[in-house]
Amino acid sequence: MSRVLITRKTGQVGYELERSLQGLGEIIAVDRSQMNLANLNQVHDVIRHIKPTLIINPAAYTAVDKAESEPELALRINGEAPAVMAEEAKKLGAALIHYSTGYVFDGSKDGSYTESDPTCPVNVYGSSKLSGEQAIAAAGIPHLILRTSSVYSTHGKNFLLTMLHLANEREELSIVSDQYGAPTWSRTIADTTAHIVAQSLAATDQRTWWEERSGLYHLMAQRTTSRFDFTDAIMAHPLIAKKALLKPIPARDYPLPAKWPSNSVLSSRRPMDTFVNYHSGRTP
Ligand SMILES: NC(=O)c1ccc[n+]([C@@H]2O[C@H](COP(=O)([O-])OP(=O)(O)OC[C@H]3O[C@@H](n4cnc5c(N)ncnc54)[C@H](OP(=O)(O)O)[C@@H]3O)[C@@H](O)[C@H]2O)c1
């Protein structure tokens, strides 16, 4: 019987995970009052108390610009808390699924990033997430680090909802046209995670299953677009009543506290080959 601890039940991915994982064991999703990732002792205690067989960590400090003025907090939540999760998972013999970001790269590559590309974060958020990745990879536990980018959903804070909100308020919007990503629905991330978890549970030898697959995977939709073109597509949707006039601008004309990589497109080839085109002979 699997016992899955989800470290946050709100958030774009956390919210969807609780739904997607139904039927895959006992699902325990906690909120910030139960487990605050900034409180490392509490992270230790909650995991020891719940004794999960699998920890899934969608919680993170995701405010990219704010992180520049709160580097210690960002590092604690994105770097040190995942390290504690890995440490506790090791003691319990549990597995850990963690999410990371394409902002571990500097964005200078021409084309999509693969898992073997060298990392080089250019902002505090990216550095803090890389630190979390490294701690988990070094722990020697069964783990998956799923890097994603440009996540959107119908709730929470994301580019899609911000554009809809701004279009209601303004007649014209200036949108950066030289930053590229591939907008990825949080439900796709959660459903893919559930698909992977189901495969692991269906394996006759779960230990070998994790040994053979542990590591880093890029998980992102495969339709590259700029922020401007994404906004244009949003405004063109027939259900959008109030449309704003869009003006493309270069990122240099929209200065922000953090440096934002111009390319965060990730190739999802590896998870496709490993999990999607995988045939176990059993229904996952
Ligand atoms: N959003 C993106 O575009 C994007 C891009 C690349 C990678 N990712 C990664 O994907 C994963 C999921 O992101 P997401 O889009 O679902 O992020 P999100 O919507 O910002 O959700 C993050 C969650 O973490 C929680 N959280 C923040 N600080 C916390 C703390 N001290 N203790 C406990 N919980 C805390 C937040 O709680 P509150 O709701 O209370 O603040 C929120 O529920 C993260 O690892 C993120 O780094 C996201």
**Residue 245 identity:** L
The rounded percent of the chain whose pLDDT value lies above 70 is 97
Q: Is 25 within 8 Å of 53 (Cβ atoms)?
A: yes
Instruction: From 120, 88, 97, 108, select the one nearest 20 (Cα to Cα).
Output: 97
Residues 199-218, mean pLDDT to the nearest whole number = 95
CA terminus-to-terminus distance, the chain: 16
3-state helix, strand, coil in the chain (%, to 5): 45, 20, 40
**What pLDDT, on the 0 to 100 scale, is given for residue 240?**
82
For atom 8 of ligand 1, the residue with the nearest CA is 101
Q: pLDDT for 162-185, tens place per residue?
A: 999 999 899 999 999 999 999 999
Query: Which atom of ligand 1 lies nearest, measured to the CA of 184?
Result: 3
How many angstroms separate the alpha carbon of residue 279 from the centre of ligand 1? 32
Q: At what angle do helices 186-202 and 12-20 cross, to 10 degrees?
A: 40
Helix runs in the chain, H state only: 12-20, 40-50, 71-75, 81-92, 124-138, 159-169, 186-202, 206-213, 227-236, 269-271
- pLDDT range class, residue 238, cuts 50, 70, 90: confident
CA distance 132 to 54: 17
Query: Which atom of ligand 1 lies nearest, measured to the CA of 129?
Result: 47
**What pLDDT, on the 0 to 100 scale, is given for residue 281?**
46
Q: Is 152 known to be catalytic?
A: no
Query: Which atom of ligand 1 lies nearest, measured to the CA of 151?
Result: 3
Note the pTM of the prediction, 2 decimals.
0.95
pLDDT higher than 70, residue 280: no
**What pLDDT, on the 0 to 100 scale, is given for residue 279?**
53
CA distance 267 to 284: 24
Q: Which residue of 9, 12, 45, 127 sits with most ligand 1 atoms within 8 Å of its CB, as the best mutation to test the pocket?
A: 12
Q: pLDDT for 81-105, tens place per residue?
A: 999 999 999 999 999 999 999 999 9
